[in-house]
Structure 1
Amino acid sequence: MDGEYGFGQELSFPRDFVWGAATAAFQIEGATKEDGRGPSIWDTFAAIPGNVLDNDNGDFACDHFHRSGEDVDLMDRLGIPHYRFSLSWSRVQPDGKTVEPRGLAFYDRLADRLAERGIVPIATMYHWDLPQVLQDDGGWPNRDTVARFADYADMVFDRLSDRVRHWVTINEPFCSAFFGYGNGMHAPGISDHRAALRAAHHLLLAHGTALRRLREKAGSSHKFGIALNFAPAVIEAADEGYRQAARKFDCLQNRFFLDAVMGRGYPAESLADVAHLDALQPAVADGDLETIAAPLDWLGINYYAPCRPAPLAEAKWACDLPGLDSVGMLPGAEPLTSMGWEQAPDRLTQLLLWLTEYCEGLPLIVAENGAAFPDTVGPCGHVHDPQRVRYYVEHLTAVHQAIERGAKVEGYLAWSLLDNFEWAMGYSQRFGVVHVDFETQERRIKDSGWLLAQAIRTNAVPNAKHLRNDLGNDCVRG
C-alpha cells in the first residue's frame, strides 16, 4: 500500500477536535418485527414494489440490533471517540405515543456499551423513520405530529440523558419534507408540494418545541443541535436564467431551514417562490417562528456534493421541488462517486467559511461526510478502497483549510461507520468505512477505516502514504 496514496504532510487540527462516525437506525438495525417494534414509513414504503432499488428493504440491514456489541468493539478497535446514532421512534413508541420497554432497553444497552469503551454518544432523535401510525394520521403535514415528537423526545431524553449528553433533534428535515412529501422519492412516497411545505414547517416546529422543552430540564453539560444538509449551488453559465435557477435552489436547499433555526424566519425569496402554492403561510401560527429559533449549542453540517441548477429547458432532469417548477439540474463535474455525486472538497471549505459568518460564530460540526464507491473484498478478506481514502483525505484537508481561515468547525463525523441500507438505493451503495457482507453480516475494516483511525490517533489529516493496517499482514494489506 505504501506509495499508492501519495498525499502531503499531516495537518494538525485544534485540540479537543471532535472525531467520530455516524449511522442511522433504519439503515443498520434490522429486527423490524422484534421486541414490539412497529412499522415505520420506510417499512411501508419499501414493501411496495419499485420504490426501492431491487425491492430491498430494511428487515435485516446490518443486523445491528443483535450485533451492537460487535459494532461497538469495532469502534473501539478503530479508536473512534464519538458515535452518532439515531433512535428508531417505531422501536420505542410503536404507536407513536406509548413506550415499548423492550425497544427502549436496546438503546439502554447501547449507551452502556459505549460508556464501557469510553465512546461518547451523540444521539439523533429523528432520522426519517416516522411511525406508520402517525403517517396514517396525516404524518408531518399534520400539526399534531409536532406534539407527538416533543413527547417522544422528552421520553428518550429522560431515559438516556444520564449517559447521553449530546443530542441532535432532527436530521435533514429538507429530505424528510421535500423527498418524502414533495417528489415522493423517499418515504412516505407522496408527491404534493403543498403537503411538503407544511411538513417542512412542522419538522422545524417539532425541533424547536422539543428543544425548548428539553432545555428546561437539561444540565449545563447537555448540548443540542440540528443536522441540516447543504448543497452549494454552482452557477454553470453566466446568464440570468442560470443565476435565477441557482438562487431559487439555494434559497430552498441551503437557507430555508437554516434561516428559520437561526431566527431569521423563512427567506423572503423562498416565500415569494412558493406563494402560489398558498401552503406555508397558512401553516405558520403566531409564535411558531420564535419556537423554531430556540438557541442551538452547535449546528450539524451534512455535506456530500454541490449541485448545478439550470433552467428546466436546458437541464438533464427536473427538480420537482416546491417553488422550483422552472428549475432543473445538470450532472456534476467528474470525478463522480457511485451515487453520481460530484467530488468538490473546495466547496466544503467555502461552505464552512460562509456558515461561520452567516451563523455569527455558532460552533459547527460536520455531522455527515463521506462517499459511496463500489468495494471488492480482496485476498485474505482485505477491502482496498483507494477512491474513498482519497475522498476522505481531500475533504479532511478542506475542513482543515476552513479552520485555518477562521471557520468555527469543532468536529468531523464520517458517514458512515458501516455499509448499510441506503434508502431508495437499497444495498447498491456502500458508504461505510467498515465493509458489511449483507449475506453473512461479516464486518471487515476497509483502508478508509484505518485512515480514519490514523486521523483520530494523530488529530491530523493523515499522510495516507504511510497508512498502516494494524493487522500487520502483507496479504491483508494488499
Structure 2
Amino acid sequence: MQYTFPEGFWWGSASSAAQSEGAANVGGKAPTIWDHWFETEPHRFHGQVGPANTSTFYERYREDIALMEQIGHNSFRTSISWARLLPDGHTVNQEAVDFYNKVIDELLAKGIKPFIGLFHFDMPMYWQEQGGWESRETVAAFAKYAELCFKLFGDRVACWMTFNEPVVVVEGGYLYDFHYPNQMDFKRAAQVAYHMMLAHSLAVKCYRALSLPGQIGIVLNLTPSYPRSSHPADLKASFIADLFFNRAFLDPAVKGVYPQELIDILREHDQMPVVQSGDGELLAAGKIDLLGINYYQPRRVKARMTAINPGTPFLPDWFFENYEMPGRKMNPYRGWEIYERGIYDILINLRDNYGNIPSYISENGMGVEGEHRFIGEDGQVKDDYRIDFIRGHLQWIHTAIAEGSNCRGYHLWTFIDNWSWMNAYKNRYGFISLDLDSQKRTVKKSGEWFADVSRNNGF
C-alpha cells in the first residue's frame, strides 16, 4: 500500500540544547542543574559521561544542518539554553545570541523550518537556587526570558514551543528521583507542575502581545492509559492515570482550565498547589496554537491489588498499578513496549475531545544499546529495526489523518545519537551515528530511508 501524506507535511527530527550543544563551560554559558548534578554525583550517569560531552552541535552546527538537508529534513526542533542566553539570570550573553542567530539562519538557508523550544529540562542553576519552579520568581523570570527570545529570533522562527514534557520535570525531580533536585514530595511536585503551566501561559501571553506572525505551543509526552480490562475498577485506574500524567498538562494547554476531577483528588488528599487571584484568567490566556506530541510507549494499568500504607508519601501510584500485557511487543534495550496504534489513539482523542487542535509528532523513536553490532562492511549502521519502528507509527498516523486528524508532521527523536540525561549514550536514537571519541558522523540506513520518505512525502 502507498502511504502519501498531506502537502507541506513536516519531516524532520528533534533534539535539545542540553543534549546536543556540548560546550557546557564555553561561550559564556552558566551551569544548569545537569552540569551541577553531574559535578556532584557523576556515578549516577551511565559511563560517567556528562553534559559537556555531547554531539558538539555548538561547534559543528553547519556540518549537522548539512546532514539534515542530506537526509530530507524540511523541519527540525531544538531548544535555546536559558543558561547560555542569560547566564546570570538577567544579562544577555551576546555570544549566545550570535550562535542561535547563526543556527536559525543556517537552517533557513537549507530550507529547514526551525521549531524552537524555550525549556527542555535544563533549569539554570542560578534560578534553581532561587527555588526553581517552586518559586513564582522563576515563573516571572521565564516570561522575561521568553519575551527576549521572541524579540531576538521571532522574525525568523515561526514555531515556538514553551516547554518540552513538563510532566517529566515533575516526575523526575519531585516524585521518582531521576532528575535533579531528586525529591519525593507530591505537594511540591504539584506546585512545580502548576507553576510551569503559569510560566507557559505568561510566555504565550507575551508572544501574542508582540503580534508575531508565527505559532506558539507546547510539547507534551502523551502516554495513553490503557486499562487491563473493562472492569469498573480497572477503568477508574486508567482514568486517574490519564488525569495525572496527560490531562494535568493537556487540558490547561488546550482548553485553558484544569480537569475538575484532578482538582477534586488533590483537594481530597490535601495536595493542592498555592493558587493566587488572577491565575485562572492567566491560564485561559495560555491556550496554544499548535501541540507537539511525544509518543514512545503506552501506559497499561490496573486497579491496585494491594492496599496503600497511608503513612507512605502520597503518589499517583496510590490509585493504580502498572500492568504488563502478555504478548506485548518490546524494545528490549530500553525496556519499553512498542505499540504503534497508541499514536493513532492520541490523535483521535485530540480530534474528538480537544477541538482537533493542530498538532505534530514532535518525538517518537527507538533507543538501542550496542548499535555497533549492526554495522555493515561499509561502516554503516543497518538499523532496519528503526525503519520498521518508524514505518509502523507512520502507518497509524496516516490512518488518523485519513480519519480527520489535524496532524501536520513527524519528527524522530533524534537527528544524531545524543546525550540522554542519566542514560548518557547508553541507548542510541539517531538517524546519524556518532563516534563519541572522534565525533565522526555517519548516516545510518534509517537516515537514507527517511530521506526517500521525505522527498516522496510518503512510502
TM-score, structure 2 as length reference: 0.93
Partner of 1:413: 411
**307, 326, 344: which one aligns with 2:339:** 344
* 1:24 and 2:22 correspond: no
Deviations 1:395-434 (A, max 9, x none): 0111000001111111111111111111121210111111
Secondary structure of the equivalent of 1:380?
coil
Structure 2 residue aligned with 1:435: 433
The within-5 A match list for 1:66-81 is 66-81=59-74
- Is contact 1:227–1:301 with CA below 8 Å preserved after alignment? yes
**Matching of residues 43-192 of structure 1 within 5 Å:** 43-47=35-39, 48-192=41-185
Question: Is this contact kept in 2: 1:32–1:58, CA < 8 A?
Answer: yes
Q: 2:378 aligns with which of 356, 377, 380?
A: 380
1:242 to 220, 234, 253: 234
Which one of the candidate residues 264, 268, 283 is aligned to 1:292?
A: 283
Q: Distance in 2 between matches of 1:96 and 1:245?
A: 42
- Aligned-residue offset at 1:308: 1.3
Q: Report if the CA contact (8 A) 2:42-2:50 is conserved.
A: no
Gaps of 5+ in 2: 308-312
Q: Aligned equivalents of 1:213 and 1:355: distance in 2?
A: 26
CA spacing shift, 1:179–1:276, aligned 2, 3 Å: farther
Q: Which residue of 2 aligns with 1:454?
A: 452
DSSP-derived class of the 2:217 partner:
strand
SS at 1:309 equivalent = strand
Return the offset for 1:381: 1.3
Tell me the SS of whatever aligns to 2:321.
strand
How far 1:351 sits from its partner (Å)? 1.2
CA RMSD of aligned residues (A): 2.0
Secondary structure in structure 2 of the residue aligned to 1:72: helix
Residue matched to 2:33: 41
TM-aligned CA distance change 1:212 to 1:321, over 3 Å: farther
SS of 1:228's partner is strand
Alpha-carbon displacement from aligned partner over 1:244-265 (angstroms, at most 9, x marks no partner): 3212211111111111122352
1:31–1:65 contact (8 Å) kept in structure 2:
yes
Alignment of 1:453-472 (within 5 A): 453-460=451-458, 462=459
Letter in 1 for 2:293: I
2:186 match: 193
* TM-superposed deviation, 1:287: 2.3
CA contact (8 A) 1:169 1:207 kept: yes
Matched position secondary structure for 1:45: helix
The alpha carbon displacement at 1:313 in A equals 4.4
Distance 2:104 2:260 in 1: 43
Q: 1:241 Cα shift?
A: 3.9
Aligned-pair CA distance for 1:46? 2.5
- The alignment covers a number of residue pairs equal to 448
Residue pairs, 1:217-232, within 5 angstroms: 217-219=210-212, 221-232=213-224
TM-score, normalised to structure 1, is: 0.89
- Partner AA of 2:87 in structure 1: P
Report SS of the residue matched to 1:280. Answer: coil
Of the structure 1 ranges 326-335 and 153-162, higher mean CA displacement relative to structure 2 is found in 326-335
Residue among 335, 352, 358 paired with 2:329: 335
User: Residue 474 of structure 1 aligns with which residue?
Assistant: none
Matched to 1:359, the amino acid is: Y
Q: Deviations over 1:150-188 (max 9, x none)?
A: 010111111111221111111111111222222221123
Code of the residue aligned with 1:334 in structure 2: it is R
Aligned equivalents of 2:204, 2:134: Cα separation in 1: 20
Identity rate, percent: 33
CA distance in 1: counterparts of 2:364 and 2:306, whole angstroms: 30
Q: Does residue 370 of the first structure (1) align with residue 365 of the second (2)?
A: yes
Contact 1:201 1:280 in 2 (8 A): no
Mapped contact 1:311–1:326 kept (Cα < 8 A): yes
Inter-CA distance 279–97: structure 2 relative to 1 (3 Å threshold)? farther
- 1:472 maps to none
Give the 3 Å change call, closer, same or farther, for CA 321–117 of structure 1 in structure 2.
farther
- Higher mean C-alpha displacement, 369-378 vs 336-345: 369-378
Deviation digits for residues 318-360 of structure 1 (CA, Å, limit 9, x no counterpart):
xx88433343323465322221111111121111011112111
Partner amino acid for 2:236? Q
Distance 1:370 1:60 in 2: 22
SS of 2:357's partner is coil
Residue 310 of structure 2 corresponds to which residue in structure 1?
A: none
| Aligned equivalents of 2:315, 2:260: Cα separation in 1 | 15
For 1:390 and 1:346, the matched residues in 2 are separated by: 14
Question: What is the CA distance between 1:52 and its match in structure 2?
Answer: 2.3
CA contact (8 A) 1:273 1:323 kept: no
- Alpha-carbon separation, structure 2, partners of 1:438 and 1:323: 38
Q: Does the 8 Å CA contact 1:299/1:362 hold for their aligned counterparts? A: yes
SS of 2:360's equivalent?
Answer: strand
1:10 aligns with 2:20: no
